[in-house]
Structure 1
């Protein structure tokens, strides 16, 4: 029997995927709310226009950029190789690049009025960008083979807090419960750059996993047996050099 902490009713508040979406939505709301508050200040009415410019620059170059980077390394990286979400990720990365460019322009703004105008443009793009994440990407990740949304949101929160993600060269899943093995492996694959690889260690030949890889990342991965039983299997799994990361 599964531990009580793993018993939940799907698509309700007890579902870990629903809770993960809610937690990420809260983070997004906080970002939008902070930026909206800063852009509401009229620089000519402020006692010191420089303080307005400085606050906008600090927030956008700091907290906002950390979120964009963390989302790319976790949510986007996982969805980028799957046929059904690849174009969606490309679109999100395009608007993310637009935001990144405008943050550079904001940092170079010479006065508070210019900074506020740029920040309002950033706010408008960010609102649309986060809506696509929330309403399209997250539901797609819930149904994506090998994706573990609660784990991905947990990794995103780790990066936002200044932590680092483990990218081990060897992923040994022999002591991990069967239902948690594939999400762990897919999450490691998602963080590979083109041409990189890791070694999977398992206690059986993971043929079902290979079929899942072929379904989710057709022709974008490599699979090389290093050791083939009878008690231990080692497979070097990589991302094709020409594949999208």
Structure 2
């Protein structure tokens, strides 16, 4: 394997791990809201949170799992150390799918909250195995190109996709951002290898929380690109306050219709 191919594989590996962090953060946000509504005895809100979670699971998490089974797992299973590992990963996919079905079919808010917590726990263990075993196995395999396996697989690396939970409080919501300058149909060219968090389709009141949750889950020395319909200066001020200067912002696209900012979480000081 050439040096350029190795670099491409390492970049692809980082993109996978970063997208895993984004998925984990989004799932956690959904579960926290559902469990909170159940704890408060707010049945109407609990069912609304359940429905939002199920929609996200079908729209994001399950397609991600399916894409892994198509793009990554066959290559990993062909490696001497990968067959049993992949069998275990597929078993966890079946467990996740069963929990999604339970969430969708239960008539009890308490059962829904318990299933959501169980799903969160299984998914966390599953992602840890992928990050620590499956991805390194493919990167280190001499005859496998992880970058080639992931070419165009946006469900795995998260590029050119939006996310489905968030927080801004912009426009009339009072964050001082001045409202939306453009919708999600405006051109947002791919300007970085880092995963993108496109908040343009999210309600104003959800954007800030979504971005902060994604940054909380971002590993040290990793980055993501925020795609916004306006210059998110109040959000950047909130990020700086929340993370005490541990996140830097690089403006990649400064309007007039779309703004893209690369948010880099700095390495932890030794």
Shorter-chain TM-score: what band?
0.5 to 0.7
Shift in alpha-carbon separation, 1:101–1:158, aligned structure 2, 3 A: closer
RMSD: 2.6
Q: How many residues align?
A: 154
Other-structure match for 1:65? 62
Structure 1's consecutive aligned runs of 4 or more residues displaced over 4 angstroms after TM superposition are 6-10, 158-162
Unaligned runs of 5+ in 2: 161-270
| 1:82 correspondence with 2:66 | no
1:62 to partner: Cα distance:
2.4
Q: Is the 8 A contact 1:43 1:113 kept in 2?
A: no
Shift in alpha-carbon separation, 1:103–1:38, aligned structure 2, 3 A: same
1:35 to partner: Cα distance:
0.7
Other-structure match for 2:10? 18
Other-structure match for 2:53? 56
Other-structure match for 1:43? 37
Q: Is the 8 A contact 1:53 1:111 kept in 2?
A: no
Computing the radius of gyration from Cα coordinates, the structure with the larger value is: 1
Other-structure match for 1:129? 126
**How is 1:93-242 mapped onto 2 (pairs within 5 angstroms)?**
93-157=90-154
1:82 to partner: Cα distance:
2.3
1:70 to partner: Cα distance:
0.6
Q: What TM-score results when the alignment is normalised by the length of structure 1? A: 0.57
1:31 to partner: Cα distance:
0.7
Unaligned runs of 5+ in 1: 1-5, 163-245
Q: What TM-score results when the alignment is normalised by the length of structure 2? A: 0.52
1:112 to partner: Cα distance:
3.1
| In 2, Cα distance between equivalents of 1:54 and 1:43 | 13
